[in-house]
Amino acid sequence: MEFEILQVMRQAAGTLFSDKQIGKMMDRQEYRESPHWARPILERMVFERLIWKEEARFLFPTEDQEQERRRSAGKQNAAQAGGSKPEQPT
């Protein structure tokens, strides 16, 4: 099921989905029984860094979004590494 979810999200890269939307698209019968059935699968995919989670929604990033996140992460790391000296106890 994880592969099928990843395929759907890859086709709509850059689009935010809720766990309920994914669950409904993938298996309507399971959705009727438990609307949030896809949440554990999506959370595991976030943990494995296959997709992103922004607030309460899930997203397969576009190439532009990945590059922007890398660029901003690099700027933050550079600022933290050489930005300020730790205070010396007196």
Q: Is residue 70 part of a domain?
A: no
33 lies in some domain: yes
Query: Phi and psi dihedrals of 51, rounded to 5?
Result: -135, 170
Instruction: Please provide the average confidence, as pLDDT, over all residues in the chain.
Output: 88
State residue 88's pLDDT score.
Answer: 61
Per-residue pLDDT of 17-37, as tens digits, reads 999 999 999 999 999 999 999
pLDDT at 75 over 90: no
Q: Is residue 88 part of a domain?
A: no
So what's the pLDDT on residue 89? Answer: 60
Position 46 confidence tier, pLDDT thresholds 50, 70, 90? very high
pLDDT surpasses 90 at 82? no
Specify if 13 maps to a domain.
yes
Q: Would residue 83 count as lying in a domain?
A: no
What is the distance of C-alpha 47 from the center of its chain?
8
Is 22 inside a domain boundary?
yes
- Residue 13 is part of a domain; what is its CATH number? 1.10.10
**pLDDT, average across residues 33-50:** 96
Indicate whether 80 belongs to any domain: no
> What domain count does the chain have?
1
Is position 21 within any domain?
yes
Query: Which distant-in-sequence residues (6+ apart) come within 8 Å of 26 by Cβ?
Result: 1, 4, 5, 8, 38
CA dist 29 and 6 (Å) reads 20
pLDDT higher than threshold 70 for residue 86: no
Residue 16's domain comprises 2-64
